[in-house]
């Protein structure tokens, strides 16, 4: 007798013919088979044929009293592990099954490891896909590289033709520089990519691949710009609203032209990032399509020696040295206007010019022994910010801040804070005048409009026009509460000579129309 337990084998069934054996095998739980060839109804070779046809993976050993090589050959061809000639001692069968058990275990171990590798590969496909797309964004196509085949293998959802790249960058500091812990940052990035993908796919009605890249998000889709512009603009505008609504993030967006194929992905990415540079000139929160002529103007080129601009910088410093602060501010505004001209200078040139002015101001401080006041340290800190500001408006504010600090330092009795107070007094005196404006108040105070606007926002945290609206609305609320005047009359008394404009402005600042406010004031619930 064979000691099956010693071989770690448990007998789960016995059959008198091949058909019975096949039914036992079909019921499951059979790992090994020992069968005679000669059996009624269905012999061993027929049983092996059925097992083979039904794709049962069961190692089999056949017994036969025939030594005919043809039997052995057929059995092995049908997948038999071994063929034993009877009569044979039990130890011979045991030795064969010892080998069967060892090889079966080795095979299952290999299958388990292979399944684990397949699982890991499946789990890591999104990572591999993202890494592949990132590489394509930053590297040109290599010789003999078949990107169409890689798209198929990795399950990348976009076609390999008419490729468009969209670069989405948060305004302000990158998310990584904000005070989020690692878990929160990962959740925000995950939510951002999901919002980008869902919003764009809903609007352009086609697949979009979205990946994290450096300081922002990159979306890749397929189509022609001429046909997709309206859908893209609608979708990207909706995306900006969704990100601000759900994640409190504002973004600027650059879009490339449509490229012939995925092989040109790096070129499309370069165009999208070039388009995004326009936010420095035009402000944050924009949607910028790549334009070849604009891109050429944005490229760095040698500094242009415009004689008027070159003359302004030393003249501005001379006015500060002489205490002619209003004149210096007017020259500052003229100097900055050269930067605001439609890409007259590249970003690099503007940075260099700004640093040059700050260096002149630092030299002026050294001449007039202002170093001990912290003036130099303040200018060094501002110079460090020049390369980090995101818009020309921010850069202008930085320059005005430097001028403001110099004025405060050299002439405390003429501090900018006094200018703001004087502006507030002018508003209180003339709030009901149609002629009240930033330009009119700046003219009365002998400063430039841009300077007064920047100063007002720095000191009070609100821009000049919004302050006027708030002041007028507060006056209107007081008049509405008395109930003695018509709305049209109140509008005129507080400086609005168009009743519809007054109604819109009032509702913007209070959430109620003037008539609703008046009703609630006299009939509170």
Q: Which helix (H) or strand (E) holds 222?
A: strand 216-222
- Looking at residue 505, its pLDDT comes to 85
Categorize the per-residue pLDDT at 309 as very low, low, confident or very high, splitting at 50, 70 and 90. Answer: confident
- Looking at residue 292, its pLDDT comes to 62
Burial tier of 494 (Cβ tally within 10 Å: 0-12, 13-18, 19+): buried
**Which of 21-30, 145-154, 200-209, 314-323 has the weakest average pLDDT?**
314-323
- Looking at residue 298, its pLDDT comes to 55
> Average pLDDT of 282-296?
78
Categorize the per-residue pLDDT at 121 as very low, low, confident or very high, splitting at 50, 70 and 90. Answer: low
pLDDT digits (tens, 9 = 90+) for 359-384: 888 888 777 665 455 777 888 888 89
Q: Which helix (H) or strand (E) holds 154?
A: helix 147-154
pLDDT at 113 over 80: no
CB of 93 within 8 A of CB of 34? yes
pLDDT at 104 over 90: no
**Distant-in-sequence, close-in-space partners of 105: CB < 8 Å, separation ≥ 6:** none
**Which of 16-20, 86-90, 174-178, 238-242 has the weakest average pLDDT?**
174-178
- Looking at residue 173, its pLDDT comes to 66
pLDDT at 178 over 70: no
> Average pLDDT of 471-489?
87
> Average pLDDT of 1-27?
87
Length of the chain counted residue by residue = 525
pLDDT at 221 over 80: yes
The two tokens of residue 220 are: 């890749």
Report which of residues 41 and 307 the model is more confident about.
Answer: 41
Instruction: DSSP letter for 277, please.
Output: T
Report which of residues 296 and 388 the model is more confident about.
Answer: 388
pLDDT at 93 over 80: yes
DSSP string, 416-443: HHHHHHHHHHHHHHHTT-TT--HHHHHH
pLDDT digits (tens, 9 = 90+) for 381-440: 888 988 888 888 888 888 888 887 777 677 655 555 678 888 999 999 999 888 899 989
pLDDT at 5 over 90: no
**Which of 10-14, 263-267, 402-406 has the weakest average pLDDT?**
402-406
- Looking at residue 235, its pLDDT comes to 94
Q: What is the average pLDDT score of the chain?
A: 83
Categorize the per-residue pLDDT at 107 as very low, low, confident or very high, splitting at 50, 70 and 90. Answer: confident
């Amino acid at each position: 007798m064979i000691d099956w337990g010693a071989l770690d084998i448990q007998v789960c069934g016995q059959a008198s013919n091949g058909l019975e054996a096949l039914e036992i095998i079909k019921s499951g739980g059979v790992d090994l088979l020992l069968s005679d060839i000669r059996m009624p109804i269905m012999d061993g070779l027929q049983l092996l044929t059925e097992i083979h046809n039904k794709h049962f993976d069961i190692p089999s050993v056949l017994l036969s009293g025939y030594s005919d090589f043809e039997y052995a050959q057929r059995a092995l061809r049908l997948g038999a592990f071994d063929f034993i000639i009877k009569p044979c001692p039990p130890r011979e069968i045991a030795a064969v099954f010892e080998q069967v058990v060892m090889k079966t275990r080795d095979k299952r171990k290999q299958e388990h490891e292979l399944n684990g590798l397949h699982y890991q590969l499946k789990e890591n496909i999104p990572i591999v896909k993202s890494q592949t797309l990132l590489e394509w964004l930053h590297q040109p196509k290599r010789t003999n590289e078949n990107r169409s085949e890689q798209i198929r293998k990795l399950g990348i959802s976009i076609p390999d033709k008419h490729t468009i790249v969209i670069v989405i960058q948060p305004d302000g500091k990158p998310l990584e520089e904000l005070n989020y812990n690692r878990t929160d940052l990962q959740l925000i990035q995950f939510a951002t990519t999901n919002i980008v993908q869902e919003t764009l796919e809903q609007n352009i009605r086609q697949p979009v691949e979205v990946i994290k890249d450096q300081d922002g998000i990159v979306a890749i889709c397929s189509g022609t710009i001429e046909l997709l512009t309206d859908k893209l603009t609608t979708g990207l505008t909706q995306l900006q609203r969704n990100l601000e609504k759900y994640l409190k993030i504002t973004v600027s967006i650059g879009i490339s032209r449509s490229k012939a194929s995925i092989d040109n992905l790096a070129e499309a990415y370069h165009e999208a990032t070039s388009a995004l540079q326009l936010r420095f000139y035009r402000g944050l929160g924009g949607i910028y399509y790549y334009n070849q002529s604009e891109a050429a103007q944005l490229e760095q080129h040698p500094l242009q020696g415009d004689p008027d601009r070159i003359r302004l910088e030393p003249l501005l410093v001379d006015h500060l040295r002489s205490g002619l602060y209003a004149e210096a501010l007017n020259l500052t505004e003229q100097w900055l206007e050269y930067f605001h001209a439609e890409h007259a200078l590249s970003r690099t040139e503007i940075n260099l010019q700004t640093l040059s002015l700050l260096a002149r101001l630092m030299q002026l401080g050294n001449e007039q022994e202002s170093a001990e006041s912290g003036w130099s340290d303040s200018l060094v800190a501002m110079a460090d910010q020049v390369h980090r500001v995101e818009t020309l408006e921010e850069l202008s504010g930085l320059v005005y801040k430097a001028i403001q600090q110099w004025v405060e330092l050299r002439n405390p009795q003429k501090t900018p804070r006094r200018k703001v107070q004087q502006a507030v007094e002018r508003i209180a005196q003339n709030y009901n005048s149609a002629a009240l404006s930033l330009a009119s108040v700046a003219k009365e105070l002998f400063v430039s409009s841009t300077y007064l606007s920047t100063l007002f926002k720095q000191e009070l945290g609100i821009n000049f026009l919004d302050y006027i609206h708030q002041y007028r609305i507060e006056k209107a609320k007081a008049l509405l509460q008395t109930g003695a005047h018509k709305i049209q009359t109140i509008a005129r008394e507080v400086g609005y000579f168009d009743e519809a404009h007054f109604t819109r402005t009032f509702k913007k600042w209070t959430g109620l129309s003037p008539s609703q406010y008046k009703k609630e004031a006299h009939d509170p619930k």
